[in-house]
Amino acid sequence: MFTGVGLIAFICIFGAGLLGFALRGFLPEHHRTDETGKTVHNVMGVVALLAALVLGLLVANTKSSFDLRSQEVQQFSANLTLLDRELVHFGQDAVKMREMLRAFTAHKIAQLWTDRGAEPAKDAAESVQLLDEIESNLRLFAPKNEVHIEGRKNALDIIRELKRTSRLLSVQQINATPRPFLIVAIFWLSVLFLCRAIFAPFHGTVIAAFFLAALSVSVAINLIFDMDRPFTGFIKVSPVPMQQALDWMKS
């Protein structure tokens, strides 16, 4: 599914190819010789190589970042479940803390997985406040036996890890791929299509080839932009682990 960036890339790249076909008729005959065409194609080969390297690097980088976000969400949801299990050992003394933990989980889901263009339902600081309250209650809790002592220590360790991951997930909603890389890649590809079209024959098969090539690279650019928004893009990190953790807490 195309977003604005993918559509802009397609318009620029395919439009440059059409412009090249149009410019072909205005060039003098001696500028359209076979020798000139071969020279331009060789020079444009350098541009094609650079564009391929940049696109490959961006796709690999965003895919690696996307996979890391997915792993963090899975670990985050596992820690939430573990914390809830530790609090269960405290019995009625932990009822309020478990309610706050469920509220935190619900807030985090609403904050991360929002509709496109919508503001997060809860601010990250507000969500972390709930963890702070749970931590404060745990520190004030007087252990009654060895099980409580060990459980409180484990719960405090898990809360520290949850705070760290919660902050990471919040800041990672911001686009990480530098936009100049995408702009430069689109420019290089546009120049490449422009120059290749000037020396290409003008008929339906060639136009179709240019169209499919422009569509293919635009999809790659769109994929980079989409995976760079792991919680709001068309391809996004699954909220299922977090939802399962919340359902487990309610059971």
pLDDT in the model for residue 240 = 92
pLDDT at 235: 81
pLDDT at 124: 58
pLDDT for res 216: 92
Question: How confident is the chain (251 residues) per 10-residue block, as mean pLDDT?
Answer: 79 93 83 83 89 88 88 92 89 86 89 62 64 87 82 90 84 68 89 91 91 92 85 84 89 71
- What is the model's pTM? 0.76
Position 29 scores a pLDDT of 80
Quote the pLDDT of residue 121.
Answer: 42
Say if CB 13 and CB 214 are below 8 A apart: yes
- Per-residue confidence (pLDDT) for residue 74, from 0 to 100: 93
